[in-house]
Amino acid sequence: MGEILSNAALNTLMGMGVVFVVLILISLVISAFSLINKAEAKMHKQAAPVKVPEKQTPAPVIEEEDVTDDTELVAVIAAAIAAYEGTSVEGLVVRSIRKINRNENWRRG
């Protein structure tokens, strides 16, 4: 009986020892990743060719659209609001139209 227990204890210690050794090796490999990244960045830095400044081309001029006479847009917006509220367009007045960025709208909430 004593021999069986001693063999079981040795098996347990051997198994736990192997597990801890493997865990230590894994942690060393993970910590070596930062060294690999530094070495790779150093290689790319040395191999990067010197950039010659190119001639700057002027940016294309963007013509702004005249938004002062958007009667069709106002009519569509007024019709949509009237349909949503279930009323007629006669009582609605659109005072101003401004474009908002959808990403900023989501950040507010």
Banded model confidence at residue 40, pLDDT cuts 50, 70, 90: confident
User: What is the mean predicted confidence (pLDDT) over 65-93?
Assistant: 79
* Domain-located, residue 61: no
* Domain-located, residue 63: no
Residues 43 and 80 in one domain: no
Q: Which two tokens stand for residue 87?
A: 């009323």
Distance CA 74, CA 96 (A): 9
The overall pTM is greater than 0.75: no
Distance CA 46, CA 61 (A): 39
pLDDT(63) > 70: no
Q: Under DSSP, is residue 55 helix (H, G, I), strand (E, B) or coil? A: coil
Q: Under DSSP, is residue 65 helix (H, G, I), strand (E, B) or coil? A: coil
pLDDT(105) > 60: no
Domain span at 44: 1-49
Banded model confidence at residue 30, pLDDT cuts 50, 70, 90: very high
Question: For the chain, how many structural domains are there in total?
Answer: 2
